[in-house]
Chain A
Amino acid sequence: MDPLATGFSPGEGRPELGVTLLGEALGESEAKLGRPFMGPAGMRLGRMIERAGFKREQFQILNTISCRPPNNNFSPDDAYFDGAMAHCRQHWEPQVKRPETKVIVPMGNVPLKATLDLEGILSKRGYVWWSDQYDAYVLPTVHPSYIMRGNSAWEAAWIYDLRHAVEIAQDGWSPIERDYLLDPPPPKAWAWARSYRDLVAQDVTLALGYDIETPDKSAAEDETDINLGYLPGPIYRISFAYVWRGRTYALSIPWDSNYLELIGFLFATPGPKIVANRHFDVPRINAHGVSIAGDRHDVQEMWHVLHSALPKKLEHIVPFLCPRQPAWKHLSGSQPALYNAIDSAVEVEAYYRLIDLLTEARMWETYHRDIFQLNPILLYMTEQGMPVDEQRRKEAAWQIGELKAEVRVKLNEAAEGARPTKVYKKAKPGLTTITIQVEEKYCSECGKPKVSAKHPCFKVGQAEGEVPLGELKVRTIDATGWVEPLDFKPSNTGLLRYAKFKGYRLFSRYDKQQGKRVYSMDESSLRKYALAHPEDPIFALALEERELTKLAGTYIGVLTEEPPKQLTAEQEYYQAVNRAKYADYDTAGSL
């Protein structure tokens, strides 16, 4: 163990309710007191346990690392990570292996790695695993510290997970069983479809879940790049599911000509159609000439009404809504048909659960009237679009271009003397000359400059017994140089360099991500400089240049003489997918 580590806590408490909470490592207070979760995270833990309806004493509380790591930092990047993980197992493993522990709740990435050898707590939380090693269920959740770092909405998830863990400790858990029909021949698929059609004839509220699979779905799905929904982007698989008398029936079939009629048949049935993220699936299905009958509900939107501050991606919401569904997203590559069928199964199950939860919370009316009934209006407006006058748009782009060129000239004028330069050693017509210092090789004997190895003074020494007269040396001399001033670039670096050159006081701001104060030339800082140095136009010009760049790049566009490339629908689709891949995802985050 690293000699800089401090403190020791073996953990505490008895799993009176059958649940052991497993944290990461000791903090300052924990190291001092020799007890787990005694600092701010401990206070939060205690409060959350009480809000869940329990008492701290009812849980066994352990840490994966029984001491405080150096600098209070413990991550897989640390050299001692693996060693410390292995070493400290002797402290917590025997305690969770006792029969009193029915459910282990790893809180955060470190205990998740230690118990299940998995990574990515945010996508694993709330799912239930069975561990032969510990003879117990494992139900990971987020660490209280994560909740305290501006993620307070996750407290609802933590409380839910703890209650679920206690429930499992008392009543046990088994994964849900469903009837899957995966890649059946068309006659069997038709039989499935007719069964649903017959049932929905009896009960028109019988919902049909559906889900499509597309290339790179996960990336595009997160971004919901719906602007290209009119493009018939490729779909390679579709699944449907319904719940009848408490059992879920799911079908997954390829999206190809053998099944297209059947797909249209199912979508034409009158029952409600349930999907997760309608913005992604619906336009693509429509673009293939298939229309969808019946009420359309999106479980992500329903969930958002219920818990609007929590993420709404399917894998995040399933632990709340289908608690007997084990993690399945990892099956997408190995068992695509099963994966696809589970998607629509959990969607339709979640739909029924959400109706109950929204009704219980007196929010069904809010969802139904203010989301579901509003959506047709929103969809209508999207379809209508906002009219654009192409000529006015081009004129705006031209104006921006002209203004930008003017600003560039003014920037160069204002930055005269502080502009970056390029110096040429050879004469360049039109440029001003300056004296520069250059290195020059010369002969130490005769002083001749620019000599080579063949220089006579050196040759004297090449015969045996002869000492060379001179040797090659280097000296610094003054010479003429030609200076070309370059454009002043109002970038962060360029402006900081300029402010330093002018001897201005530099403004700093606190950067949350870096956790320290940094010198910046962001919009706020630029305004501060502009106000502090009203006589210097450079900062106001830089602000103007940035505004123009943003207006052109984000909204208006830039004029070009080159006609746009005519892309096929598929090429456009893949471009959109690629854009989505590199776009920010609003619930991304790691511990």
Chain B
Amino acid sequence: MLTTTPPDLSNYYLKGGLRAGPDGKIHGTFKHDPATLRLSMAAPSLHQIPRGSTDLQKLVRGFFATPPGELFLARDFSAIEAVLVGFFANAPRYIRLSKLDIHSYFTAHTLYELEGKLKFNDLPQESWPDDQLREALADIKKRFKSTRETNKKLTHGRNYKETAQMAQIILLNEMGVLLPVKSIQRVMSAYDELFPEIPRWHLTLAAEVGGGKLRVPKQGWGYEARNCVIRQPFGATQRYYDVIKWEKTPEGWDWNFGEDAKSLIAYLPQSTARFIKTRAAQRVWNTRPDMAKFFRLFVHDEILCQVPEGQADELDAVLKYEMEQPVPELKLPDGSLLSIGSEGKRGPVWATMK
């Protein structure tokens, strides 16, 4: 990145790029286009602008800045999709680890089992209390940052039935890392072994919606599935017709995952996450209009606001309270309600909020 001071640019004009309205602001329009009913944006889409942490990627979000005396304030659900995968897979340990930091936990296991870089005695244990485990996972995150980042991509893909080939392309494009397909497969297999509830849930869901015979003990919770139809806890429903494909084997006909399997598996957590976020925003809108007036953008798992500095703490508290409310639609088998944690950040420039 350049460190030299730019010349006087007052006689220059901007051509192209994101189109601003007559007030100089960018007015993207929200739409409900995705099949998951997640929000999308158009003309222009602020969902598509680079999110990366490099200086270059930060340049775009770096020109979104508040006037003096105001701040951007954002609150983001923590690991919402991972927690929801655990919910739908009826895997309480997966939910707990997702809330603590499942990527570091899995990374520790790959470092021990696949790479031999960690000793057995150094593995974080699920039997530890939350605080001890969180601390150990934070240490893993700090020490093995790049391995954790790679594993994070792989586990995210694995949760949605991504193939090793596709994961290779994603890693290459998003992280510039080229791993052999075989080593990706090894990591994914290790993941399946560590969290067998997830592949069992995939098989259950595919069998239920695709109409195949269930080959594993049933694993799933919190949704309605029947032939070709899936209904998530908030009532949104989607149809999938090619969830399984039939193949002839020496033992007769058997099924495998079909073209729609990945979309089906991703549908439940992705669509549900959207509803958790918008319901929280709606509660703020209905109960605290004085705070909701600061809303500016729903982007990914985040609610972004523009707020006078003096009201930032109050707004953050309101957002945190509503976003972390137990979700009545997500009742766990033990009768308790699932809740999702959130993280806040703020600053006068979108790119550098902390």
Residues of chain A touching chain B, judged by Cβ–Cβ distance below 8 Å, are: 51, 147, 150, 152-153, 155-156, 224-230, 279, 301, 304-305, 307-309, 361-363, 365-366, 369-371, 373-374, 376-378, 380-400, 402-403, 523-524, 527-528, 530-531, 547-548, 551-564, 586
Contacts and interface: CB of A to CB of B under 8 A. Distances in A.
Interface stretch (B23-31, B102-110, B141-149, B181-189): B23-31
B282 A373 contact: yes
Given A377-B281, A556-B17, A152 B259 contact: yes
Nearest to A576: B43
Contacts of B223: none
A381 B298 contact: yes
A388 B348 CA distance: 11
B16 interface: yes
Contact of A556 (B35, B60, B350): B60
- The 9 A-B pairs with the shortest beta carbon distances in the complex, nearest first, are A557-B17, A385-B25, A227-B43, A557-B14, A393-B63, A378-B30, A389-B65, A366-B235, A155-B241
B297 A381 contact: yes
Nearest to A527: B172
Contact of A366 (B28, B64, B234, B292): B234
B49 A386 contact: no
A309 B62 CA distance: 36
29 contacts: A147-B241, A308-B34, A365-B235, A366-B236, A369-B282, A380-B293, A380-B295, A381-B30, A381-B295, A386-B27, A387-B306, A388-B24, A392-B62, A392-B349, A393-B63, A394-B6, A394-B9, A402-B4, A531-B176, A551-B56, A552-B16, A552-B17, A555-B17, A555-B60, A556-B14, A556-B17, A556-B63, A557-B14, A558-B14
A547 B59 CA distance: 12
A388 B12 contact: no
Given A384-B296, A386-B296, A555-B60, A531 B14 contact: no
A152 B298 contact: no
A563 B14 CA distance: 8
B228 interface: yes
Contacts of A524: 169, 172-173
Nearest to B178: A531
Contacts of A230: 21-22
A374 B50 CA distance: 26
The range of chain B's interface size is 35 or more
Nearest to A225: B43
Looking at A225, A309, A402, which has the most chain B CB atoms within 10 Å of its CB? Answer: A309
A518 B272 CA distance: 39
A133 B26 CA distance: 57
Nearest to A309: B35
Contact of A156 (B13, B23, B239, B350): B239
Contacts, number: 236
Given A389-B63, A394-B14, A527-B176, A307 B28 contact: no
A65 B243 CA distance: 32
Interface of B: 1-2, 4, 6-7, 9, 11-37, 39, 42-44, 46, 49-50, 56, 59-60, 62-67, 169, 172-173, 176, 178, 228, 231, 234-242, 259-260, 275, 278-279, 281-282, 285, 292-293, 295-298, 306, 349-350
A308 B25 CA distance: 32
Main secondary structure of the interface of A (DSSP, over half): helix
Contact of B20 (A304, A388, A551, A563): A388
Contact of A304 (B32, B44, B49): B32
Nearest to B5: A395
A269 B245 CA distance: 54
A153 B285 CA distance: 35
Contacts of A383: 27
B260 to A, nearest CB: 6
Given A386-B350, A524-B172, 14 more contacts: A51-B228, A147-B241, A152-B259, A155-B241, A279-B31, A308-B34, A382-B27, A382-B29, A386-B28, A387-B24, A388-B63, A403-B1, A403-B2, A556-B59
B285 A377 contact: yes
B65 A387 contact: yes
Contact of A563 (B6, B13, B17, B296): B13
A268 to B, nearest CB: 25
Contacts of A553: 16-17
B63 to A, nearest CB: 4
A147 B260 CA distance: 12
A307 B23 CA distance: 38
A138 to B, nearest CB: 25
B25 A386 contact: yes
B32 A371 contact: yes
A387 B63 CA distance: 9
B259 A150 contact: yes
Nearest to A43: B246
A559 B239 contact: no
Contacts of A559: 9, 12-15
A147 to B, nearest CB: 8
